[in-house]
Amino acid sequence: MKSLKASGHQLASAAAQIELLEQQAETRQRPTFRNQLESIDLFPLRPTGIDVLQINVGKMCNQVCKHCHVDAGPDRKEIMTRETMQQCIDVLAQTNIPVVDLTGGAPEMNPNFRWFVEEIKKLGRHVIVRCNLTIIVANPKYNDLPDFFRQHQIEVVSSLPFYNADKTDRQRGQGVFQDSIKALHMLNAVGYGQPDTGLVLNLVYNPAGAFMPGSQVSLEQQFKRVLLSEFGIVFNSLFAITNIPVSRYLDYLVASGNYDSYMEKLVNAFNPTAAAGVMCRNMISVGWDGQLYDCDFNQMLDLTVRVPGRHISEFDADALMQRAIIVNEHCYGCTAGAGSSCGGTTA
Amino acid sequence: METYYDPADLKKFGQISEFQKELADKFFSYYGSVFAEGALTAREKSLIALAVAHTVQCAYCIDAYTNDTLEKGCTEEQMMEAVHVAAAIRSGSTLVHSVQMMNKVKQVSM
């Protein structure tokens, strides 16, 4: 399977995605996301702080998941340079942003990944790595990643869309479940997810289809029970995340005929409490080329932050705190039901 | 295509209160309580509902509880097993009445 970009797909263009999302709201005569925020006095949406610097270090990935909002894959060559990484480190040194969330693609495939992690840790910041698990077993040069993570006390957040092979492989590719289980055993073996080690291993559940996630508490109980009884695997928490209609997931929705009904479901499930707690209010997302965004989804839609300095080299915390966060129809994904963020439910 | 069952009608379920609000309100309140977490989990209740939906052959309910069981993290295998439970009870309930048939046969036969 190729990325949308490599296959020349129309939805590889951010503009085409935005046009589709806006057109849908207009033709269905549904309230726009902006209307919804206005109705609860949240528009314009303002930041509450900058607690997380989420850095996308590249779109290169060893997997090609059907729902990937990054359109990542082995054919994507966009990768953050060491120079841009240094600019991120400079920003961290000048600010007191406590959490750095590294994502991709597979962030570990960036050749400067380990150096970057070490430099951030020297500044005493908490580092989260969004690890797709299979990268750990994809090539011998990555086999020691669990040790590297442990050595630097990295919080590992790993996608595992279901506790069986069928649903996981349908979404993430043949054999992904089996490799994920191997990687989880390796993480557990060095102490991740084990009681009293302080080595945090969180899993991410997102629905393998056009439906919303159920109760995070209930899903976590199921995942813990099955993964322990069938595979002897332990982990800390499960984050239930709603699939956002962006990029390959948007393509899936359209191609499968589920687009209208999924959007309707998200709109009908709009939750004001979730809207008040959206993750874009306390984070800044950095793209592989150093551009700044309100979140990873806005990044994929080329919606850079609405401030004069839109590059990490021009980072101005005061200006960013005054900005209006850019919203559009895809934002319904973060405000539906129990809410959704990179850390799971929000409401 | 016009059919008796319009999937769009499922979303209008709440509108039954238009003709009789008091009873509808009581029903929806009861319905909400029935499906809340209790001695059975919400997930178990959803699987029961899916099975019953097949037994009463309610197209709306099948759609609704297929979606609900998926959302609650059920596997396709679990969902189909629930339907088989309903099917087994349904066929069993047919077959157990054959005892009455056999009794009658024996009663009227030489």
Domain boundaries, chain A: 33-335
User: What are the φ and ψ backbone dihedral angles of B96, each rounded to 5 degrees?
Assistant: -65, -25
Question: Is residue B46 over pLDDT 70?
Answer: yes
Name residues 178-237 of chain A within 8 A of B (Cβ): 205, 207, 209, 211-215, 218-219, 222
Q: What average pLDDT does this structure show over B88-105?
A: 97
Dihedral angle computed from the Cα positions of residues A54, A59, A60 and A61, in that order, rounded to the nearest 10 degrees: 70
Residue A1 is predicted with a pLDDT of: 84
Closest to A218 in 3D by CA, of A240, A242, A190, A196: A240
Residue B1 is predicted with a pLDDT of: 67
Would the CB atoms of B41 and A215 count as touching at under 8 Å?
A: no
Q: Which helix (H) or strand (E) holds B13?
A: none
What tokens appear for A334 in the block?
A: 């973060």
* pLDDT tens figures, A249-300: 999 999 999 999 999 999 999 999 999 999 999 999 999 999 999 999 999 9
**pTM listed for this prediction:** 0.92
Question: Is residue B5 over pLDDT 90?
Answer: no
ipTM for the complex shown? 0.83
**Regions of chain A short of the pLDDT cut 50:** none
Would the CB atoms of A164 and B75 count as touching at under 8 Å?
A: yes
Residue A26 is predicted with a pLDDT of: 86
Cα distance from A325 to chain B (closest Cα, Å)? 30
- The total of other beta-carbon atoms located within 10 Å of residue A212's CB is 21
**What sign for the dihedral angle of Cα B76, B79, B81, B84?**
negative
Q: Which of A170, A177, A216, A222 to mutate to test the interface with B (most CBs of B within 10 A)?
A: A222
What tokens appear for A182 in the block?
A: 């191997």
Contacting residues of A for B41, CB less than 8 Å apart: 218
pLDDT tier for residue B3 given thresholds of 50, 70 and 90: confident
User: Any idea which fold A33-335 has?
Assistant: TIM Barrel (3.20.20)
Q: Which helix (H) or strand (E) holds B10?
A: none
Cα distance from A211 to chain B (closest Cα, Å)? 6
Residue B44 is predicted with a pLDDT of: 97
In chain B, the domains with their CATH numbers are: 15-89 (1.20.1290.10)
Residue B7 is predicted with a pLDDT of: 87
